[in-house]
């Protein structure tokens, strides 16, 4: 079945809610906006931060980038560790690697922060490639992240049909699904992340799983 598997990070392998939403809250305060309810900031989990500040709070591009800098003041030193790995993820990754799968991270989070999270949870060793965005804003869109991960890990000789059957992208938001579809991959949505009701279905996910064990079953597949 799948030989190459790309994983989103936030909301897929780990639950970063407290760290991300508290850091967004911190950034908003710098602009005179008080948002006491962290649940309302959950939509910031997944997509590029600059886009979220513009979409949800009407910031200009300049303001959004300034907000991202404020966010990083808190997140890079504290929020990054206000995070929990979903139960069973480490076991699943070990089994996937033992079965010969090649694994990669494809995240919109800046690559250095992705690496720190993986090291914190002691799961970095399972990934052959770790691809995130650039701190200066380059490669933020999930389609761009997926493209770079594919360039690094998947033979260019794979045709369209082979990509669909041999390469999977796993994520919890519509951005992960559209990123997979843009490159002809099989898309696997996890409902235990931060998608809104019906989001993964509307995006056209090929599979939707509710638990880590279900995800493992699909990814292991049959030779």
Report residue 57 CA to chain centroid gap: 22
Confidence of residue 222 (pLDDT cuts 50, 70, 90): low
Provide the annotated active-site residues.
8
Same domain, 92 and 155: yes
Q: What is the pLDDT of residue 134?
A: 84
150 pLDDT exceeds 90?
Answer: yes
Count of C-beta atoms within a 10 Å radius of residue 21 = 22
Evaluated on CA atoms 87, 189, 75, 42, the torsion sign reads negative
How far apart, in whole angstroms, are the C-alpha atoms of residue 108 and residue 137?
Answer: 10
Same domain, 115 and 189: yes
How far apart, in whole angstroms, are the C-alpha atoms of residue 150 and residue 122?
Answer: 24
Confidence of residue 159 (pLDDT cuts 50, 70, 90): confident
CATH code assigned at 106: 3.40.50.1000
Same domain, 178 and 146: yes
CATH code assigned at 76: 1.10.150.240
Same domain, 50 and 147: no
Same domain, 185 and 147: yes
In the listed set 81, 110, 126, which residue is the last one of a domain according to the structure? Answer: 81
E strands present in the chain: 4-7, 14-15, 84-85, 102-110, 129-133, 167-171, 186-190, 207-209
Same domain, 48 and 96: no
Same domain, 77 and 88: no
Domain ranges, residue 24: 17-81
Count: domains in the chain: 2
Same domain, 69 and 107: no
Q: What is the pTM of this model?
A: 0.92
How far apart, in whole angstroms, are the C-alpha atoms of residue 40 and residue 34?
Answer: 12
Residues with Cβ within 8 Å of 207's Cβ and at least 6 positions away in sequence, in order, are 186, 187, 188, 189, 218
Higher pLDDT, 135 or 113: 113
Look-up of token digits 């490669």: 139
Same domain, 9 and 46: no
């Amino acid at each position: 079945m799948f030989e190459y598997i790309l994983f989103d990070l936030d909301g897929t392998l780990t639950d970063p809610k407290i760290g991300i939403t508290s850091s967004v809250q911190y950034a908003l305060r710098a602009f005179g906006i008080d948002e006491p309810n962290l649940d309302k900031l959950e939509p910031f989990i997944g997509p590029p931060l600059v886009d979220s500040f513009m979409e949800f709070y009407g910031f200009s591009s300049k303001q959004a980038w300034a907000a991202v800098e404020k966010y990083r003041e808190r997140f890079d030193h504290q929020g990054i560790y206000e995070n929990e790995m979903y139960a069973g993820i480490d076991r699943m990754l070990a089994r996937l690697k033992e079965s010969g799968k090649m694994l990669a991270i494809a995240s919109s989070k800046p690559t250095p922060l992705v690496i720190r999270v993986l090291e914190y949870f002691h799961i970095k060793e399972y990934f052959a490639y770790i691809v995130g965005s650039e701190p200066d804003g380059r490669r933020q869109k999930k389609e761009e992240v997926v493209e770079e991960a594919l360039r690094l890990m998947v033979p260019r000789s794979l045709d369209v049909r082979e990509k669909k059957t041999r390469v999977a992208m796993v994520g919890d938001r519509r951005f992960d699904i559209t990123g997979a579809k843009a490159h002809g991959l099989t898309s696997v949505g996890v409902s235990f992340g931060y998608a809104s009701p019906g989001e993964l279905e509307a995006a056209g996910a090929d599979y939707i799983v509710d638990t880590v064990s279900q995800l493992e079953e699909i990814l292991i597949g049959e030779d």
